[in-house]
Amino acid sequence: MKLQVAIDRVSIQKAVQIVELIEGKADIIEVGTSLTKEFGVKALSPIIEAANGTAVLGDIKTCDEGKYEFDLGYKQGFKYLTVMGSSSLGTLQVCAQSAAEHNGLMMIDLLECDEARIEAISGFADAIYCLHTSVDSGATADPVAQVRAFRQRFPQIQHIAIAGGIKQHQLAALAQENIDIVIMGSAITKADDITAACMACRKEMK
């Protein structure tokens, strides 16, 4: 299980400082939607450079114009990009194609997707499907139960990530569930000692 740390609602300068504290310690550094929307993908190079080779995910939440947005993001240096599961199948297909062309990875954000929708978009073998509880709806109560129910319902989906208010004490149990990525946010980035918080989370996952 990889640890993805999401950085949100800070200046680019502050984001760079946070990245310097976690590069090489987090497996994936996420440039959150708030940064992509406030400053734009083209302004994010300093953050990607500060990651110093640690993979960076751009949470660009593509809804349409998939090829344009994904090509832009991969060219900017992102390894992972996100597309909404609620997008059209056509959008998901061109995003998958862009990912393949750029040797990048595609994460499908399942925010608000019902079972029929997930079933309809479950055919992207290389994609990571992100179980995502909306910020506007509060935290995930029991992420392990959520993952198990999802696996039972969609056995055809191989790669799973989970996001939405995950806490450090939930990581040890989650690590047993054979998921690809766990996404943590303010539990690490708002800690007094960001590096220590990141390392403590990693330790739980062993």
Does 98 help bind a second copy (rule: CB under 8 A)?
Answer: no
Compose the 128-167 pattern: x for residues touching a second copy by CB under 8 A, - for all others. Answer: ------xxxx------------------------------
Cβ of residue 86: shortest distance to a second copy, in angstroms? Answer: 4
What SS3 class is residue 130?
A: strand
Give yes or no for residue 68 binding a second copy (CB under 8 A). yes
Q: Binding residue for a second copy (CB under 8 A) from 1, 50, 61, 181?
A: 61
Please list, in sequence order, all residues whose beta carbon lies within 8 angstroms of the beta carbon of residue 32, skipping any fewer than 6 positions away: 6, 7, 8, 9, 59, 185
Q: Is 16 in the site for a second copy (CB under 8 A)?
A: no
Cβ neighbours of 95 (radius 10 Å):
29
Residue 94 touches a second copy, criterion: CB under 8 A: yes
Q: What is the C-alpha to C-alpha distance for residues 29 and 18, in angstroms, rounded to an integer?
A: 10
DSSP per residue, 55-96: EEEEEEEE-S-HHHHHHHHHHHT-SEEEEETTS-HHHHHHHH
Per CB under 8 A, the segment of 19-27, 40-48, 141-149, 191-199 that binds a second copy is 40-48
- Nearest Cα to Cα of residue 36 among 102, 83, 85, 4: 83
- Give yes or no for residue 176 binding a second copy (CB under 8 A): no
Contacting range for a second copy; rule: CB under 8 A; set: 21-29, 38-46, 143-151, 167-175 = 38-46
4 binds a second copy (CB under 8 A): no
Task: Find the part of the chain contacting a second copy (CB under 8 A) among 61-69, 150-158, 177-185, 194-202.
Answer: 61-69
Determine the interface stretch with a second copy among 31-39, 49-57, 100-108, 181-189 (rule: CB under 8 A): 31-39
d(CA 181, CA 159): 9
Handedness of CA 84, 89, 94, 97 (dihedral sign): positive
Q: According to CB under 8 A, which one of 2, 27, 77, 86 is a site residue for a second copy?
A: 86
**Are the C-beta atoms of 56 and 31 separated by less than 8 Å?**
yes
- State yes or no: residue 122 binds a second copy (CB under 8 A): no
